[in-house]
Amino acid sequence: MKYLLCTALLFVFAPAYADDTTAKLEAAMQSASRSAAHMQRDANRKPIETLAFFGLRDDMRVLELFPGGGWYTTLLTPVLRDNGELIVALNASSVRDGLLQQPGFDKVKVDSANPDMVDSGPLGASDVAAFEFDATDVDMVLTFRNMHNVSSQGRATINAAVFQSLRAGGLYGIIDHSRRHMEPITAETGRRADVVQIMKEVLAAGFEFVDYSDLHFRPDDELRYEVGRRSVTGNTDRFTLLFRKP
């Protein structure tokens, strides 16, 4: 009886809780900490729908990999500030020395993991030395448009470290620019990734496949050209994948 009552209460409060997370994200999108250039990408990147697909809640401990210029960091930080925690890792010096020095970002942690990365893969993709994150028992790991920057060896190393950092049942969300399956890597396709290969590598690390989303499917992207080309940039087809640690 007690179990049934707890389960009923969970279903009663879950929708309001999800709405609270969404409301925080909507407010974060209007924050003064975001640049006009960042805001211009909102319609294309669909952060509310994307993070809802990944299952983000405001009480999670989230590890963001390769945060780059902090586009998602500026959104995740205020959502997780009160009830959760955001940790950034891997090539995070730019946000550490810039964005995280601004008001409101003081609670974001920077993981000390700093593996050697040698650009010896195809077209300068990085091989990555074995390492572990400081962060453990995290609820979610996210990476946005980064997997193409590392070699298959580098991705295997990162996937293994992610697996170790997550709690049982923890989620792993990946987005990247699409490359045709089995198509050779060229100068035009170097910043794209083969979704089948990515899935195979993540499953080999011990993860379970949860779902994919077509949120970032772009039928006009012929998958032929470099993602920075004027005819393609801002309209690249991207795969969106979600995995779980058993």
- Note the pLDDT tens digit of each residue in 130-187: 999 999 999 999 999 999 999 999 999 999 999 999 999 999 999 999 999 999 999 9
pLDDT at res. 15: 46
User: Domains of the chain by range and CATH?
Assistant: 2-244 (3.40.50.150)
| Residue 34: DSSP 8-state | S
Q: What is the pLDDT of residue 4?
A: 43
**Alpha-carbon distance 83 to 85, whole Å?**
7
Give pLDDT, residue 18. 57
Q: Which residue has 């250039």 as its token pair?
A: 37
User: For the chain, which residues score pLDDT lower than 70?
Assistant: 1-19
Give the residue from 9, 112, 135 showing the smallest Cα distance to 60. 135
Amino acid 122: pLDDT: 83
